[in-house]
């Protein structure tokens, strides 16, 4: 069975980072990343986003992942400091960073409230916590033959992830001393042909794999303009209160 921290694969993570680039850029501009000197990315994986953060920040960028192997990926820019550690126990002093960023990370964390508390601890007052997290409970799919919501929720749960974590995140942040703003994706886009890639990597039962195969066949037979597939994405901007 795949472990939560082994997913998604590097290829899908790169595609995911590209898909989220516009939303990520919006959040980073809001936090005025060009003025910031101390930036930390949680759940950096193979470094798919690290180069962008390094390019846009004014100073040091640190990428953190709990797995050692991805930190050796050739995708990493040489300037970024790489740290192997757990997001629930960050190896940094209080008030060490101006910005903490993560995307599709907290749903894989066993105790996300602890990770949020750690982010609050290492941030300067007035510093930003930015997150992009999906809420699979609100997944909209049409026509019904394309519906894979239950497969996502059950498969993610078996892999150790929380498919509903995003809706819990704002409350966690407020409790940890943040002022919180949440935006959502504001337009429908054509569904990606790669969207079943991660789903296929999850620990599905044999029956669920048969259902996924039927869904993929229905998807291939449905005209693009007839499809509606929308995964609610929480775009979180949280500022650490004094």
Residue 94 domain-assigned (yes or no):
yes
- DSSP three-state, residue 98: strand
**202/55 Cα distance (integer angstroms):** 33
- Predicted confidence at residue 2, as pLDDT, reads 40
User: Distance between CA 87 and CA 91 in Å, rounded?
Assistant: 9
d(CA 222, CA 34): 44
Q: Which residues of 195-217 are buried (b: 16+ CB within 10 A; e: fewer)?
A: bbebbebbbbeeebeebbeebbe
Count the domains in the chain. 1
Asked if residue 151 belongs to a domain, the reply is: no
Q: What is the CATH number of the domain that holds 70?
A: 3.40.50.150
Give pLDDT tens digits along the chain (242 positions): 344 446 677 778 888 888 899 999 999 999 999 999 999 999 999 999 999 999 999 999 999 999 999 999 888 999 999 999 999 999 999 999 999 999 999 999 999 999 999 999 999 999 999 999 999 999 999 999 999 999 999 999 999 999 999 999 999 999 999 999 999 988 888 888 788 988 999 999 999 999 999 999 999 999 999 999 999 999 999 999 99
CB atoms within 10 A of CB 70: 23
Give domain status of residue 221, yes or no.
no
Separation in Å, CA 101 to CA 38, 41, 97: 11, 5, 11
In a domain, 84, yes or no: yes
Cα separation, 24 vs 31, in Å, equals 11
pLDDT for the residue 16 = 84
Residue 172 in any domain: the answer is: yes
The DSSP bridge partners found for residue 39 are 61, 99
How many other CB atoms are there within 10 angstroms of residue 14's CB atom? 17
Domain with 46, as residue range(s), is: 4-136+162-188+231-240
215 part of a folded domain: no
The predicted pLDDT at position 171 comes to: 98
State the pLDDT at residue 164.
Answer: 98
User: 180 lies in a domain?
Assistant: yes
In a domain, 104, yes or no: yes
Q: What is the pLDDT of residue 7?
A: 61
């Amino acid at each position: 069975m795949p472990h939560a921290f082994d997913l998604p694969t590097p290829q899908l993570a790169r595609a995911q980072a590209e898909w989220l680039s516009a939303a990520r850029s919006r959040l980073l501009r809001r936090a005025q990343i060009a003025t910031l000197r101390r930036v930390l990315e949680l759940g950096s994986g193979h470094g798919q986003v690290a180069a962008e953060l390094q390019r846009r920040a004014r100073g040091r960028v640190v990428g953190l992942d709990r797995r050692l192997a991805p930190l050796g990926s050739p995708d990493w820019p040489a300037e970024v400091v790489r740290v192997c550690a757990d997001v629930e126990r960050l190896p940094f002093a209080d008030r060490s960073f101006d910005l903490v960023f993560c995307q599709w990370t907290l749903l894989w964390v066993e105790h996300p409230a602890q990770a949020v508390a750690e982010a609050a601890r290492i941030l300067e007052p007035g510093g930003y916590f930015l997150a992009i997290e999906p809420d699979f409970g609100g997944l909209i799919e049409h026509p019904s033959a394309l519906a894979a919501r239950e497969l996502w929720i059950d498969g993610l749960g078996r892999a150790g992830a929380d498919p509903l974590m995003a809706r819990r995140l704002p409350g966690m942040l407020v409790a940890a001393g943040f002022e919180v703003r949440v935006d959502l994706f504001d337009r429908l886009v054509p569904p990606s042909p790669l969207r079943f890639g991660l789903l296929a990597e999850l620990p599905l039962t044999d029956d669920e794999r048969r259902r996924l195969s039927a869904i993929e066949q229905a998807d291939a037979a449905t005209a693009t303009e007839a499809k509606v597939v929308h995964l609610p994405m929480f775009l979180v901007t949280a500022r650490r209160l004094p």
